[in-house]
Amino acid sequence: MAISRPDTITSLADAFRNCKPGLPPLINVMGIVIDVLSPTPTSTGEWAVTFTLQDPDMIKIPVNPKGLKARFFCRTEEELPPVSSLGDIVLLRNCKVSPYRQVPTISNVKGRTTAVVYQPSSIPEPAFMQSFLGEKDIPYLPPDAMPKPSKTEQMYALGLKQLTPSIVNTAAASKPTAIPTGPAASRAIGPLPISSKLCTIQNAKYDKYCDLAVEVIKKFPNSNGNMELYVTDYTSNDALYDYPAPGDAEVHDEFGREGDLFGYIQNVTGTRRDWPGPSGRHTLQVELLPPHAGYARDKVEEGAFVKLSNVRIKKSSAGMMEGNMWTDKVYRHKIQIQPLVDESALKTLTNRRESYWKANKKRIEQEEAKKQGKKVNKRSKKKKATKETANTDEATSTSSTVLHNKHIVCVKNDDVDISTIKDIQSMDRSYRGKSGLELVLPLNVRYKVRTRVVDFWPPMLEDFATLASPADGSGEDSDKDTDMIDLSSSDKWIWDFFLLLEDIKPSRQSSAPAQQWVHVGHRNAEYLLCMAENATDLRSNTQTMAKLREQMALLWGNLEELKVAASLKQQPFPSSGTASAHDMGLSNLPFYCCIEEYGQELDEEDRPDEFTAYTTLYALAQTRIFESPVSD
């Protein structure tokens, strides 16, 4: 169905773009909840809640984390917005959007801001929409909220619910267990029901709550009293980390390494241990908070068969699937871990376990037999393989020579091995010290990739330069790209934009090529553009604007023309969020560039129980555009 945003509502994307230091205007916003933290008391005696909203316009902006965050402070917990579940539709009136640690954030104005929450279970299906076009209203929380939502705002809420699966993939977590057969008004308003049906790791989906019957492979305590369980039911899921078999651990040093060689964690041992569980993508990491953590620490042994209830499946900062079990908001002492006593579930798990290890033993025996094969056959096969490899390398070299943009040069990275974006996204970022603490942390490394540009943000080149504020150049949170800029006077401009890079070809022919947004900050942009002109107001300086457009055309070909054409037709670009360069009709050549991976410390409200954590970010660096082609 077509979704029309009411004139009374500001899109989250516009609120994000218009956020500036100073006194912000009061606006109304509406969006889908894609993340929510439990309400917590503050040191001042107030209560706080943090949640993140998304809408069809905001999802197009490559920010990390996704969506527009909201932080509300009220005198009592009851005065906070009644946000409780992913997929909730929230209407905020008279709120403000201002920079918090340089990130646009929605906040409330005491005595002015009001909130209305539509739970997904209370919003009717499109077939029953007609009954709510008259005097009847779609149920909302709190039921006495004033002013009441208008009919256009209610219809917008209905439209947002229909878009929820495509925006945050939370349809399974947001809907009740049974599909409604009548108008939503007849259903009681209350907490969103959660399915208690057992689910295998193979069928686990992001942002869905499920019960798991599993074997505990390893458990590790966190320094703050939480626990991390590594569990398996011997089914596989491509979104899980790929654990090496014991014989393969020596091939890739990072697989078996404990500790951290990049300065985040102390006590690096450098030793290797074989993974005790099944190799491959069979093991799920589950984070436990109290009271589950204490029970697992004292009562659950490695090798035990247990049932984990209401496990939330989510994507980690490293892009891998993981689970968490947090404190129940109502029954705070309820423990959701029990020994697996169901006879049917236990039998299924043990049979699957026996089949896996039996097949694994056979595979090891076959590999040993191959190593002891006849030397004559081995020598002839090696000679044939060497010849085939030489022919393949020659063909690949020829292809690379033809399909290579010689205007783009990756400088001072000849000694770096070439990676793919798929390789980068699949890297193992977990480290464990002597204390048993295991974290997923950024690697602080540099990659060299062969890629092409398939999208950029902001959508208009005129916005690639932005007016810097004094906060950008001073303080602990200052961006390293602006440290060298004199911001003592006004009207200082900096380069700041994002590029969406795509692998040249997918790792599997049937799959879409991997894509990754990379940030191009001020200093890296100056190096990339190789322009005599400085960053400036591109809307008034036509000479610098023309030079920028000329340089970027060398980088991305006809990409800007395609985006402009789609905009004139009022069509999204790309038409699909996963469209590849081939599907877009994009005409540009691949090039070599350098991508830097680094970590950014999360805000306190994003850390469970004040646990220090980092999010992984990527930046384009040491890459330059030359007007004349550069010979190899």
Instruction: Lowest mean pLDDT of 161-170, 213-222, 473-482, name the range.
Output: 473-482
Q: How does pLDDT run across 44-86, given as a tens digit for each residue?
A: 888 999 999 999 889 888 877 788 999 999 988 888 999 988 8
What pLDDT, on a 0 to 100 scale, did the predictor assign at position 247?
A: 60
Evaluate whether 7 touches 57 at the Cβ level (below 8 Å). Answer: no
Instruction: Lowest mean pLDDT of 52-66, 168-182, 297-311, 336-350, name the range.
Output: 168-182
Q: Residue 264 pLDDT > 70, yes or no?
A: no
Better-predicted residue by pLDDT, 499 or 481: 499
Q: How many residues does the chain have?
A: 632
The pairing of beta strand 623-625 with beta strand 591-601: unpaired
Alpha-carbon gap, residue 222 to 210, rounded angstroms:
24
Q: Mean pLDDT score of the chain, rounded to an integer?
A: 77
Bridge partners, residue 618, by sequence: 597
What mean pLDDT is predicted for residues 570-586? Answer: 67
Residue type, 104: P
What mean pLDDT is predicted for residues 203-222? Answer: 88
Instruction: Lowest mean pLDDT of 134-138, 162-166, 269-273, name the range.
Output: 269-273
What mean pLDDT is predicted for residues 591-596? Answer: 92
What mean pLDDT is predicted for residues 402-420? Answer: 78
Which of 285, 288, 292 is closest to 334 using CA atoms?
292
What pLDDT, on a 0 to 100 scale, did the predictor assign at position 269?
A: 37
Q: Residue 456 pLDDT > 80, yes or no?
A: yes
What pLDDT, on a 0 to 100 scale, did the predictor assign at position 260?
A: 35
What mean pLDDT is predicted for residues 577-593? Answer: 76
- For residue 242, name the pLDDT band (cuts at 50, 70, 90): confident
The pairing of beta strand 114-118 with beta strand 47-54: unpaired
What pLDDT, on a 0 to 100 scale, did the predictor assign at position 30?
A: 96
Percentage of residues in the chain with pLDDT exceeding 70?
70
Provide the CA 143 distance to its chain's centre, in angstroms: 34
- For residue 389, name the pLDDT band (cuts at 50, 70, 90): very low
Mention the CATH class of domain 201-243+278-348.
Answer: mainly beta
In the chain, what are the domain boundaries?
Answer: 12-170, 201-243+278-348, 408-625
Better-predicted residue by pLDDT, 474 or 359: 359
Evaluate whether 308 touches 295 at the Cβ level (below 8 Å). Answer: no
The pairing of beta strand 614-621 with beta strand 497-503: unpaired
What mean pLDDT is predicted for residues 106-121? Answer: 91
Name the helix (H) or strand (E) containing 394. Answer: helix 375-402
Provide the CA 205 distance to its chain's centre, in angstroms: 14
Evaluate whether 555 touches 591 at the Cβ level (below 8 Å). Answer: yes
Tokens of 112: 């002015």
Q: How does pLDDT run across 13-38, given as a tens digit for each residue?
A: 999 989 888 888 999 999 999 988 88
Evaluate whether 448 touches 620 at the Cβ level (below 8 Å). Answer: no
What pLDDT, on a 0 to 100 scale, did the predictor assign at position 54?
A: 92
- For residue 400, name the pLDDT band (cuts at 50, 70, 90): very low
- For residue 416, name the pLDDT band (cuts at 50, 70, 90): confident
What pLDDT, on a 0 to 100 scale, did the predictor assign at position 235?
A: 94
Which residue has tokens 């009709």? 585
Alpha-carbon gap, residue 66 to 615, rounded angstroms:
12
Evaluate whether 40 touches 67 at the Cβ level (below 8 Å). Answer: no
Domain 12-170 has CATH 3.40.50.300: no
Which of 110, 93, 109 is closest to 153 using CA atoms?
93
SS3 of 69-122: EEEEEECCHHHCCCCCCCCCEEEEEEEEEEEECCEEEEECCCCCCEEEEECHHH
Which residue has tokens 């040993």? 368
What mean pLDDT is predicted for residues 526-549? Answer: 91
Q: Residue 552 pLDDT > 70, yes or no?
A: yes
What pLDDT, on a 0 to 100 scale, did the predictor assign at position 580?
A: 60
Q: Residue 433 pLDDT > 70, yes or no?
A: no
Q: How does pLDDT run across 350-378, given as a tens digit for each residue?
A: 889 888 888 877 776 766 676 666 544 55
Percentage of residues in the chain with pLDDT exceeding 90?
30
- For residue 583, name the pLDDT band (cuts at 50, 70, 90): low
Helix 542-556 × helix 559-568 angle, to 10°: 110
* DSSP per-residue codes, 434-492: TT--EEE-----EEEEEEEEEEEESSSGGGSEEE--GGGGSSTT--GGGTTS--SSS--
Q: Residue 123 pLDDT > 90, yes or no?
A: no
- For residue 404, name the pLDDT band (cuts at 50, 70, 90): confident
Q: Residue 574 pLDDT > 50, yes or no?
A: yes
Bridge partners, residue 97, by sequence: 106
Rounded to two decimals, what is the model's pTM? 0.46
What pLDDT, on a 0 to 100 scale, did the predictor assign at position 590?
A: 92
Phi first, then psi: what are they for 494, rounded to 5°? -135, 155
Alpha-carbon gap, residue 269 to 312, rounded angstroms:
33
What pLDDT, on a 0 to 100 scale, did the predictor assign at position 482?
A: 47
Better-predicted residue by pLDDT, 620 or 371: 620
- For residue 403, name the pLDDT band (cuts at 50, 70, 90): low
Q: How does pLDDT run across 1-13, given as a tens digit for each residue?
A: 557 899 999 999 9
Better-predicted residue by pLDDT, 570 or 106: 106
* DSSP per-residue codes, 331-382: -TT---EEE---HHHHHHHHHHHHHHHHHHHHHHHHHHHHHTS-HHHHHHHH
Cβ atoms < 10 Å from Cβ of 258: 19
Which residue has tokens 């989906």? 205
What mean pLDDT is predicted for residues 154-171? Answer: 76
What pLDDT, on a 0 to 100 scale, did the predictor assign at position 431?
A: 65
- For residue 565, name the pLDDT band (cuts at 50, 70, 90): confident
Q: Residue 194 pLDDT > 80, yes or no?
A: no
Evaluate whether 113 touches 81 at the Cβ level (below 8 Å). Answer: no
CATH: 1.10.10.10, 2.40.50.140, 3.30.590.10, 3.20.20.100. Which one for 408-625? Answer: 2.40.50.140
What pLDDT, on a 0 to 100 scale, did the predictor assign at position 65?
A: 72
Which residue has tokens 């980390």? 241
In a 13 Å sphere around the CA of 179, the CA atoms on its Cβ side amount to: 4
* CA dist 164 → 63, 85, 220, 514 (Å): 19, 13, 35, 24
Provide the CA 258 distance to its chain's centre, in angstroms: 25
What mean pLDDT is predicted for residues 539-548? Answer: 92
